[in-house]
Structure 1
Amino acid sequence: MAEEKVVAFVLAVTEIGKEYDVVEGIKDIARRTDVEVEAYVVYGEYDVAAKIVADGLKKVDKVVTMIRSLPGVMRTVTLIAA
């Protein structure tokens, strides 16, 4: 039986001028994993917003950890959809 899909949103604060590099890094993560990821530069308190759709929390955790380790990422907030 396949695990239920988990949807999560990651909001990231980046170093000044690094938001587009972080979005490209997130898109690269999506290409290297079997997880659906969308990423956008946004305006406001956060610089980048990403949507993750994965088979289970372990895969979400893996992708979030990869995002947090990208150069230029200073801080993240992760929201798991209900």
Structure 2
Amino acid sequence: MADERVVAFVLAVTEIGKEYDVAEKIREVAKQAGVDVEAYVVYGEYDVAAKIVADGLRKIDRAVTMIRTLPGVLRTVTLIAAE
């Protein structure tokens, strides 16, 4: 069975002043993880919101793990979309 297209949203809390650096790093690690990503600096409870699109949960898992270990990331919440 072929993997399905999976969409996930990652919401990140960053160190103060690191939100733009983190958003840029998320775009870079997405290429390494083999996923498509849109990353934005946002206002509110979270500092960065990223939409990740991949051809399976394994790639989502890899991308999220890479994001969680980025310098400046304090905490993340991951939401898997139901389509």
TM-score range, shorter chain: over 0.9
For 2:26, the aligned partner's letter is I
Find the counterpart in structure 2 of residue 80 from structure 1.
80
Find the counterpart in structure 2 of residue 15 from structure 1.
15
Give the structure-2-normalised TM-score: 0.94
Q: Does 1:65 align with 2:65?
A: yes
Structure 1, 53-62 or 29-38: larger mean CA deviation:
29-38
1:27 to partner: Cα distance: 0.8
For 2:31 and 2:6, locate their aligned partners in 1 and report how far apart those are by CA, in whole Å. Answer: 18
Query: What percent of counterpart residues are identical?
Result: 78
Within 5 Å, give how 1:43-54 maps onto structure 2: 43-54=43-54
1:32 to partner: Cα distance: 2.1
Following TM superposition, the consecutive aligned residue runs of length 4 or more in structure 1 with deviations greater than 6 angstroms are none
Within 5 Å, give how 1:22-61 maps onto structure 2: 22-61=22-61
What are structure 2's unaligned runs of at least 5 residues? none
What are structure 1's unaligned runs of at least 5 residues? none
**Structural RMSD (CA):** 0.9
1:18 to partner: Cα distance: 0.3
1:34 to partner: Cα distance: 1.8
Give the structure-1-normalised TM-score: 0.95
1:47 to partner: Cα distance: 0.1
Number of equivalent positions: 82
